[in-house]
Every structure is written in structure tokens, then in C-alpha cells.
Amino acid sequence: MGDCIFCKIANGEIPSNTIFEDENFRVILDNGPATKGHALVLPKKHYADLFEIPEETLAGAVKTAKKVAANMKDKLGCDGLNLVQNNGAAAGQTVMHFHLHIIPRYENDGQSILWKPTSPTPEELVAVKETILN
């Protein structure tokens, strides 16, 4: 993926604020952070999104996030933490190389990673379930 910026960052061709690295992943500080310590887990191999990434690599990304999250809790003293992972432009993905956001949260940090709940009828929920199961 010659023109993918996260491929270049993950493989060290472009400098980044790296906070963890191993054979398969690089974790960098997001350069437009939601909060102090907002980081991105980047697989070194290119996969666009959740649909492309192999299960084993996905599991590795989550394990990496767990390690980094524990370190953030310890060093940054965050009060909470969100893991966020966007797939497709409709879901807010802007860089089409799989990445897992690690967003430390602090009391009254002024951020919000929430959605507006809707109110489907019980029948509508059953219809969705049946669509998924059939």
C-alpha cells in the first residue's frame, strides 16, 4: 500500500510519537487527540478495516491495547478509557488502514463518545433480529 500514511508510520518510514512497538504493531500518539494520551494501535501490515483484518491480528491488536491501557492508567492516572474502532466513512473512518483508538478519559474532560438512543418498538427489534439471523 504505497500511499497509505499509516503503513508508512507503522513501519517507521515516517516518524511518530511511538509509545509501544513489537513485531506486528506500533502504537502511536494521535496527532489530533481527544484527550491527553489518545493513542492508535496500528498493525504493521495493511488491512483496511474490521472486515479485512484476520482474526488473529485483531486479537493481537486488542491484547496490545490492553497492555498500553494498563500503562496509561498507571502513568497518566486516567479515570476511564474508551476503545473505539471506526469502519467505513459512514462510521467516521478517515484513514483506511485498520486502527484501534485508545482514549484515556478524565473526569470532566469535556469529551463525549456517545450516540443518541432511538426507541424502536419490540416488533421492530424482533424484525432486526430476524433479518440478522436469516
Residues 6+ apart with CB under 8 A from 8: 14
**Could you give the CA distance from residue 28 to residue 42 in angstroms, rounded to a whole number?**
8
Does position 7 interact with Zn ion (CB under 5 A)? The reply is yes
Does position 97 interact with Zn ion (CB under 5 A)? The reply is yes
Does position 31 interact with ligand AMP (CB under 6 A)? The reply is yes
Q: Residues in contact with ligand AMP, total (CB under 6 A)?
A: 12
**Could you give the CA distance from residue 61 to residue 50 in angstroms, rounded to a whole number?**
11
Which of 7, 10, 27, 28: binder of ligand AMP (CB under 6 A)? Answer: 28
Residues 6+ apart with CB under 8 A from 128: 120
Q: Which one of Zn ion, ligand AMP, none is in contact with 7 (Cβ closer than 5 to 8 A by kind)?
A: Zn ion
Least spacing, CB of residue 66 vs ligand AMP, in Å: 19
